[in-house]
């Protein structure tokens, strides 16, 4: 009988979190959900925050349920979250305040202010990261500009997953993949971008040591172990950035594939052995984020299904509480390629009345205005597919290689209409699955760290054997070609 080891993947996204129990028997990986909970911003008088104390309670609840189910067969714990957000600790290790949410307006105008202090080209040369006002660098710079007392008090900077790992183990460290999302890391030096941080007025004293993905951070701290009634249990830093874990579980063979980690954000990219920091990647505003097993992910953030999520919330406030499946069904019946948006326009970044913003964009750009919920959702899905094509073409320009197929992983794979639109818009075969790629990649890296899986290649082979995939082939591309021409013009002047 083959021994099965159990691993708990704690995967926190911007809309929900889950505790997934993974078992690996050498050939197959099986996942089961033991706990799921909501997540989202909390608005206070000083801005938009994350409720990390409630999330901490949910993490411990998930761990308790996993222990009840697996007992001593639980071999490890790994945690991943979204990128860029962080906590500041005082000299006693106490949380100074609830971490801000990346959609808070304190970073409005910070890119332009930062470039007055350090030119855009120099920031990119040191970090290789795309310019988004949500990045930790500009969140921190906004605190410098406002002379924040919290920044003066801060002894330690920890990204959100590093904060939870500190609470789990008592160890203060930043895992590599999540550190790269901050735009505070210098890949050429393999360390924090200390000269850049100095020039921005950001105190470098608070940045802790970096550790690679697959590091065993330690065991559960004594207070947590006593609370949960468990002996020593290893805590592993997987790819602590959820996209790093998701890409680790892409069921591809070999190199040269494109991926889309599809959820609230769509991360569109390819996996490479080293960052690409040159004039082309700067011109196209691409990013080089750390991956597992010594890789880098050359990619671009696309606004993703956030647009659909915000439409759903806006309509629910009006009394029309549609499910995502119902919204997609309405979109499928709407007229094709009638109106388009650039999903990454700044007006779509913040929470609010997204349908009204989409309508306003179409009116401002002299297009047919969406007149129904189905037309609004179809506009979003078609625009996302066209943006994926734009990113894919730029990836090929930068790398000099054609990317023959696209692997879509994550919760967005459930949207079969968007999957087909992606195949039609790009003219590429699209392979979707697994849905729970982040949890699968988290478990794979834990098993590698604890010596149960020998390599990332072996882990991906296990994923291929374990989860079903769906394949989408391109249909008639003629209408999409015409729409792409309109879409590029919108990007240039929308």
Per-residue b or e along 296-325, where b marks 16 or more CB atoms closer than 10 Å to that residue's CB: bbbbbbbbbbbbbbbbbebbeeeeeebeee
- The answer as to whether 449 is a domain residue is no
Q: What is the pLDDT of residue 71?
A: 84
CA-wise closest residue to 258 among 404, 421, 386, 394: 404
Q: What pLDDT shows up at residue 437?
A: 97
221 in Cβ contact with 235 (< 8 Å): no
For the segment 456-467, what is each residue's pLDDT rounded down to a tens digit?
999 999 999 999
Residues 211 and 290 reside in one and the same domain: no
| Residue 428 counted as domain residue | yes
Q: Quick one: 301 and 373 in the same domain? A: yes
Local confidence band at 254 (pLDDT 50, 70, 90 cut-offs): confident
Span 53-64, pLDDT tens digits: 999 999 999 999
Confidence of residue 4 (pLDDT cuts 50, 70, 90): low
- The CATH number linked to 282 is 3.30.420.40
Q: Which of 85, 162, 242, 424 is catalytic?
A: 242
Q: Look at strands 405-409 and 429-432 and give their pairing.
A: parallel
- In terms of domains, do 177 and 258 share one? no
Judge whether 231 counts as a catalytic residue: no
Q: Domain boundary residue among 237, 265, 285?
A: 237
A 10 A CB-CB count for 329 gives 14
Are 378 and 280 found together in one domain? yes
| Final residue of a structural domain among 186, 211, 237 | 237
Say whether both 47 and 74 belong to one domain.
Answer: yes
**Is-contact 218 201, C-beta < 8 A?**
no
If asked whether residues 201 and 288 sit together in one domain, one would say no
- The tens digit of pLDDT for each residue in 326-368 reads 999 999 999 999 999 999 999 999 999 999 999 999 999 999 9
Q: Does a structural domain hold residue 287?
A: yes
Residue of higher predicted confidence among 152 and 254: 152
For all residues of the chain together, what is the average pLDDT? Answer: 96
Tens-digit pLDDT profile for residues 65-96: 999 999 889 999 999 999 999 999 999 999 99
Q: Return d(Cα 36, Cα 223) in angstroms, integer.
A: 24
Alpha carbon 183 to its chain's center: 15
By C-alpha distance, which of 47, 15, 10, 52 is closest to 160?
Answer: 52
Q: Looking at the domain assignment, is residue 342 inside a domain? A: yes
Residues 146 and 39 in one domain: yes
* Number of domain units in the chain: 2
Residue 439 placed within a domain = no
Asked whether residue 258 falls in the same domain as residue 315, the answer is: yes
Specify whether the CB–CB gap between 406 and 430 falls below 8 A.
Answer: yes
Of 178, 208, 237, at which residue does a domain stop? 237
**Alpha-carbon span 220 to 235, nearest angstrom:** 7
459 within some domain: yes
Residue 441 in domain: no
Domain that holds residue 326: 250-433+454-494
Q: Does residue 82 lie in a domain region?
A: yes
Shared domain check, 296 and 221:
no
* Model confidence pTM above 0.75: yes
Nearest in space to 420 (alpha carbons), one of 490, 481, 342, 476: 476
> What string of DSSP letters covers 52-113?
HHHHHHHHHHHHHHHHHHHGGGEEEEEEEE-SS-EEEE-TTS-B-SPPBPTTSGGGTTHHHH
Condensed to tens digits (0 to 9), the pLDDT of residues 206-240 reads 999 999 999 999 999 999 999 999 988 999 999 99
User: Is the model's pLDDT at 139 over the cut of 90?
Assistant: yes
* Local confidence band at 1 (pLDDT 50, 70, 90 cut-offs): very low
Do both 130 and 201 map to the same domain? Answer: yes
Same domain, 363 and 460: yes
Tokens of 399: 């790398």
**Model pLDDT, residue 116:** 98
The answer to whether 301 and 132 are in contact (CB under 8 A) is yes
Q: Cα–Cα distance between 228 and 63 in angstroms, integer?
A: 8
Is residue 142 pLDDT above 90, yes or no? yes
218 and 311 in a common domain: no
């Amino acid at each position: 009988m083959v021994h099965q080891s159990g691993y708990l993947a704690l995967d926190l996204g911007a809309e929900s979190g889950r505790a997934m129990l993974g078992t690996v028997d050498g050939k197959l990986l099986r996942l089961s959900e033991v706990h799921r909970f909501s997540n989202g911003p909390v608005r206070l008088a000083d801005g938009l925050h994350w409720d990390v104390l409630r999330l901490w309670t949910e993490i411990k609840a998930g761990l308790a349920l996993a222990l009840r189910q697996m007992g001593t067969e639980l071999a490890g714990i790994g945690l991943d979250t979204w990128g860029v957000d962080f906590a500041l600790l005082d000299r006693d290790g106490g949380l100074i305040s609830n971490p801000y949410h990346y959609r808070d307006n304190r970073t409005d105008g910070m890119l332009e202010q930062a470039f007055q202090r350090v030119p855009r080209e120099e920031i990119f040369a040191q970090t290789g990261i795309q310019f988004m006002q949500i990045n930790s660098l500009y969140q921190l710079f906004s605190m410098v500009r406002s002379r924040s007392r919290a920044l003066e008090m801060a002894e330690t900077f920890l990204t959100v997953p590093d904060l939870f790992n500190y609470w789990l183990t008592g160890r203060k460290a930043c895992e590599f993949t999540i550190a790269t999302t901050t735009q505070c890391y210098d890949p050429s030096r393999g360390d924090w971008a200390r000269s850049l941080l100095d020039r921005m007025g950001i105190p470098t004293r608070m940045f802790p040591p970096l550790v690679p993905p697959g590091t065993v951070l330690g065991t559960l701290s004594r207070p947590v172990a006593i609370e949960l009634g468990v002996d020593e249990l290893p805590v592993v830093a997987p790819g602590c950035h959820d996209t790093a874990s998701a890409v680790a579980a892409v069921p591809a063979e070999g190199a040269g594939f494109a991926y889309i980690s599809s959820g609230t954000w769509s991360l569109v990219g390819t996996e490479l052995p080293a960052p690409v920091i040159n004039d082309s990647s700067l011109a196209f505003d691409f990013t080089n984020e750390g991956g597992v097993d010594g890789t880098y992910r050359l990619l671009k953030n696309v606004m993703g299904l956030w647009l659909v999520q915000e439409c759903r919330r806006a309509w629910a406030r009006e009394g029309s509480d549609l499910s995502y499946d119902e919204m997609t069904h309405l979109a499928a019946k709407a007229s094709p390629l009638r109106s388009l948006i650039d999903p990454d326009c700044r007006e779509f970044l913040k929470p609010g009345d997204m349908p009204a913003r989409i309508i306003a964009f179409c009116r401002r750009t002299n297009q047919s205005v969406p007149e129904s919920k189905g037309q609004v959702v179809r506009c979003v899905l078609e625009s996302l597919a066209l943006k994926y094509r734009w990113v894919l073409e730029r990836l090929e320009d930068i790398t000099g290689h054609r990317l023959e197929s696209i692997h879509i992983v994550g919760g967005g794979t459930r949207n079969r209409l968007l999957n087909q639109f992606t195949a039609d818009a790009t003219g590429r075969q699209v392979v979707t699955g697994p849905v729970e790629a982040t949890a699968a990649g988290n478990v794979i890296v834990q098993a590698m760290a604890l010596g149960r899986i020998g390599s990332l290649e072996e882990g991906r082979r296990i994923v291929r054997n374990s989860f079903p995939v769906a394949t989408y082939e391109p249909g008639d591309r003629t209408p999409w070609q015409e729409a792409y021409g309109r879409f590029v013009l919108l990007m240039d002047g929308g």
